[in-house]
Amino acid sequence: MPPEERRRNMLKAVVASTVGTSIEWYDYFLFGTMAGLVFPHLFFPKSDALAGTLNSYAIFFVGFLARPIGAWLFGTYGDRIGRKATLIATLLVMGIATFLIGVMPTYTSIGLWAAVVLVVLRACQGIGVGGEWGGSVLMSMEWGSRKRKGWLGSWPQFGVPIGLVLSNGITAVTVTLAGTATFDSWAWRIPFLLSIVLVAIGLYIRLGVLETPVFKALAEQNRLEQRPVTEVVRRNWREIILSALLRLPEQAPFYLFTVFVFTFGAAATKLDKPFLTWAVSVAGLVSFITIPLFGYLSDVIGRKTMYMLGIAVMAVWGFVYFGLYATAVPIIVFIAIAVSLIPHDMQYGPQASLIAESFTGRLRYSGASLGYQFASIIAGGPAPSIALGIWTGFLFIGPWKVLSPLPAKNAYMISVYILACCVIGFIATALLKERSALDHTVEYDEQEPMEAEGVRRPAMG
């Protein structure tokens, strides 16, 4: 393929990946926003405020439990039939589930069955996003050169702040224009219904993208794995586990700063819903700059170096963040929220390439997806509930409420939780083998380990 045509296709692939992930994350984050704002009284009106919030967070967690299922399902097809077709399927699964949330009945219509329906639709969201991330990253990264993997891999990650800004921004506009009472009654449905328009746009863009050169070469060489998940678990179980663990200091704080913030803000500072949604939206806007910036820097100073620096900053920031929040001064709280995602972005920018380049091409969709999505069970999913338990002084184990040994109403205990995630993540990153110099267009088992200069020597034997 001529260089100019390849560049055009690379640009189309990057745009398609970014737009697609933006839409998927809009849908996924919108649920989290509503879980903190309106779902407790819509689906659990007979419960007290704390129990209703915990029930909403439990359903929020269902999406994270379903994400490894999506990684397994779509990872299999992504490595067998192609990145493009699989990404179209993930977008449809997510979009239809989100639209249906916007038209579903609540407790007042069908009682507890409403919560059951919500669980099913949230699981579908999790399955969709579980297959989306790996394919989007590969669609972008596999069209580019190995010297720009960090930069190119950061653009699908860029979909996270776009989705965050869209979900919180549209929610903030809706609640501001409709008023809190109207929003709580029926206007909360509007952001969910708008999803179908975004999905139509995403499908149009994705249908015009070509399959990646890496996958086409594997297909032409008849090197596609028929059971990629089984094979990648057998060959790369260590990389899958480390990929999940290194996400702890990135993913857990993210959901504290973008979901738990609504519960904590109302409880600790009495700030209203529009204030918090606008503040989180500004945090997403900051990430528009910082995610691609740190992805680019990872190509300059090294992927693992950039990532571990981000973990170190997050370990300190957890204490600074809650210290600023504790002042309850609106402008200080707003600024703290607005810049809260920068330590996260120091990790998230280079993370896509760091994880994806840990797996060879014929197993990359499955391996990267499994490693990335398994973290949702131990990091992002339980984070809001853990933080709420630390704050209230109670631990919730299934249906049982147990008194916590930690002091209640002490936000710095949540900072300690973030610190623990950082320690685990730092060790996992240090143990992950450095593969940034490998040529991602060539199967890794055909390559010798790189020299310091990054020059590939032919395989022996």
Convert the pLDDT of each residue in 302-334 to its tens digit. Answer: 999 999 999 999 999 999 999 998 888 889 999
User: What is the arithmetic mean of pLDDT over 438-458?
Assistant: 58
pLDDT at residue 267, rounded to an integer: 65
Beta bridge pairs of residue 403: 394
Spatial distance between the Cα atoms of 10 and 357, rounded to a whole number of angstroms: 18
pLDDT at 54: 81
pLDDT at 61: 87
What is residue 405's predicted lDDT score, i.e. its pLDDT? 60
Whole-number pLDDT of residue 266? 65
Domain range holding 406?
A: 7-205+221-446
What's the pLDDT at 107?
Answer: 95
Residue 458 domain-assigned?
Answer: no
Average pLDDT over residues 93-119: 95
To the nearest whole number, what is the mean pLDDT of the chain? 87
The pLDDT tens digits for 132-145 are 888 888 888 888 76
Identify whether 425 is part of a domain: yes
pLDDT-wise least confident of 81-85, 197-201, 375-379, 442-446: 442-446
Closest CA to 155 of 143, 137, 168: 137
Separation between Cα atoms, residue 291 and residue 296, nearest integer Å: 9
pLDDT score at 403: 55
Residue 169's pLDDT is what?
Answer: 87
Total domain count for the chain?
Answer: 1
Q: Residue 371 is encoded by which pair of tokens?
A: 């490693």
For residue 234, tell me if it sits in a domain: yes
Percent of the chain with pLDDT over 70: 92
Of the listed ranges 158-167, 236-245, 299-308, the one predicted with least confidence: 158-167
pLDDT of residue 458: 38
- The per-residue pLDDT for 159 is 86
Distance CA 226, CA 205 (A): 29
Amino acid at 238: R
Of 341, 349, 307, nearest to 321 (Cα)? 341
Q: Answer whether residue 208 shows pLDDT above 50.
A: yes
**Structure confidence at residue 68 as a pLDDT band (50, 70, 90):** very high
Determine the pLDDT at residue 110. Answer: 95
Q: Is there a domain that residue 364 lies in?
A: yes
Q: Residue 233's domain is classified under what CATH number?
A: 1.20.1250.20
Residues 6+ apart with CB under 8 A from 393: 403, 404, 406, 407, 408, 409
pLDDT at 459: 39
Tell whether 2 is covered by a domain: no
Q: Would you state the pLDDT for residue 116?
A: 96
Half-sphere exposure of 400 (CA within 13 A, CB side): 4
Q: Is the pLDDT of residue 217 over 80?
A: yes
How many residues in the chain? 461
For residue range 377-416, list pLDDT tens digits in order.
998 888 888 888 888 776 554 444 555 565 667 888 999 9
Q: Which amino acid is at 326?
A: A
Q: Please write down the long-range contacts of 143-148, taking CB distance under 8 Å and 24 or more positions apart.
A: 143/6, 143/9, 143/10, 143/13, 143/14, 143/212, 143/213, 144/10, 146/437, 146/438, 146/439, 146/440, 146/441, 147/299, 148/299
Amino acid 151: pLDDT: 83
The percent of residues above 90 in pLDDT, for the chain, comes to 48
Question: Of 77-81, 228-232, 266-270, which gets the smallest average pLDDT?
Answer: 266-270
Would you say residue 213 lies in a domain? no
Q: Is residue 133 part of a domain?
A: yes
In a domain, residue 211? The reply is no
Under the banding of pLDDT at 50, 70 and 90, the label for residue 455 is very low
The 10s digit of each residue's pLDDT in 421-445 is 999 999 999 999 888 777 777 887 7
For 24-48, what is the mean pLDDT? Answer: 88
Would you call 37 helix, strand, or coil by DSSP? helix
* Main-chain dihedrals φ then ψ at residue 143, nearest 5 degrees: -90, -10
* Structure tokens that stand for 358 in this block: 């840990």
Give me the pLDDT at residue 406, please: 58
One-letter amino acid of 192: F
> Model confidence over 259-299: pLDDT tens digits?
888 777 766 677 777 788 888 889 989 999 999 999 999 99
Q: What is the pLDDT of residue 393?
A: 72
Predicted confidence band of residue 457 (pLDDT cuts 50, 70, 90): very low
Per the structure block, which two tokens stand in for 394?
Answer: 């109670």
Confidence of residue 236 (pLDDT cuts 50, 70, 90): very high
Please say if the pLDDT value at position 251 is more than 80: yes
H or E element that contains 397: strand 394-397
